[in-house]
Structure 1
Amino acid sequence: MQPAHLWWIAAALAVAAELATGTFYLLMLAIGLAAGALAAHGGLGLTGQIVSAAVVGAGAVALWTWRRGQTPGGPAATADPGLNLDIGETVHVTGWDADGSARVHHRGANWTVLWDGSPNEPPPGPGTYTIRALRGNRFIVGR
């Protein structure tokens, strides 16, 4: 079996492992293995093939890691409306307790809500508030 075939088989195994695990870094390493196969097709010796695979694979991983660091992350899971359908909904607070919490009725259940403002700032009073996040089983609300 020719060395290029071994490189292609290794790249295919890395892609299969990536599909099974969901880690994107294995795909970057598979690109490096494909570079090793192309180097074998190009007639480079075993050392050149290994160096090509290592440089391209490590470069792809480094580039992907750098790129991920440059893009801002999304909202935290506790404040992501795609994960928590209550975020963005409104609730009516009839009164606040001394500890800055209140009880509201939302979607057929009673919930504890906490004010999203400064801890030293008291909630503004009764009214309609928007759910901004969830902390455990409590809604964090604000105007």
Structure 2
Amino acid sequence: MNAWMTWAVLAGVVVILELFSGTFYLLMISIGMIAGALFACIGFSASMQLIVAAVVGTFATIALHFSKYGWKGNVNAAQDPNVNMDIGQFVEVPQWNEHGDGNYTARVSYRGAMWDVELHHGNGESGKYVIQEVQGSKLIVR
């Protein structure tokens, strides 16, 4: 088997593994392997093919990491609407209890249950508020 065929088969195996992992990082490594296959077709030595595959795969992985599709970091689940469906919903607060220093709390019925509500910013007037965060059985609203 020619060197370029070996590179292409290895790249195909890595693409198949990427389908099982669900990330794009292995796909970037396979792009490096395809670059190695191209250099094998041109007739470069095995060491040059390895270097090109490593450099292209590394730069592709770094580019993916810093793109919008790369690693996102830790997201606070209490404030992420993709994790908690209550974030961004409205709740009606009929009356606030003031605890001094601008701290307001209330007890409201939301989705058929009683919840503690804490006002993040505001002056404690009754009305509709948007849920900003969920901490256990306490809703933080604004």
TM-score (norm 2): 0.79
Please give the residue correspondences for 1:50-129 in structure 2 after superposition, counting only pairs within 5 Å: 50-68=50-68, 76-97=76-97, 98=99, 100-117=104-121, 123-129=123-129
Query: Which residue of structure 1 lines up, in the alignment, with residue 32 of structure 2?
Result: 32
Query: Which residue of structure 2 lines up, in the alignment, with residue 13 of structure 1?
Result: 13
Q: Distance in 2 between matches of 1:135 and 1:79?
A: 9
CA deviations over 1:46-96 (Å, ceiling 9, x no partner): 0121111011111111222233499x98x8543343443322322122233
Q: Distance in 2 between matches of 1:102 and 1:87?
A: 18
Q: Distance in 2 between matches of 1:101 and 1:18?
A: 49
Q: What are the ranges of 5 or more consecutive residues in structure 2 without an aligned counterpart?
A: none
Per the alignment, do residues 58 and 123 of structure 1 end up closer, same or farther by CA in structure 2, a change over 3 Å counting? Answer: same
Q: Distance in 1 between matches of 2:129 and 2:61?
A: 45
In the TM superposition, residue 112 of structure 1 has moved relative to its aligned partner by 1.5
Q: CA RMSD in A?
A: 2.7
CA contact (8 A) 1:4 1:41 kept: yes
Q: What are the ranges of 5 or more consecutive residues in structure 1 without an aligned counterpart?
A: none
Query: Which residue of structure 1 lines up, in the alignment, with residue 46 of structure 2?
Result: 46
Q: Secondary structure at the match of 1:111?
A: strand
Q: Which letter maps to 2:127?
A: G
CA deviations over 1:77-136 (Å, ceiling 9, x no partner): 43343443322322122233436322111111111111112xxxx752332212122223
Q: Which letter maps to 1:100?
A: Y
Query: Which residue of structure 2 lines up, in the alignment, with residue 133 of structure 1?
Result: 133
TM-score (norm 1): 0.79
Q: Distance in 2 between matches of 1:52 and 1:46?
A: 10
Identity of aligned residues (%): 39
Q: Distance in 2 between matches of 1:86 and 1:20?
A: 32
Q: Secondary structure at the match of 1:67?
A: coil
CA contact (8 A) 1:96 1:123 kept: no
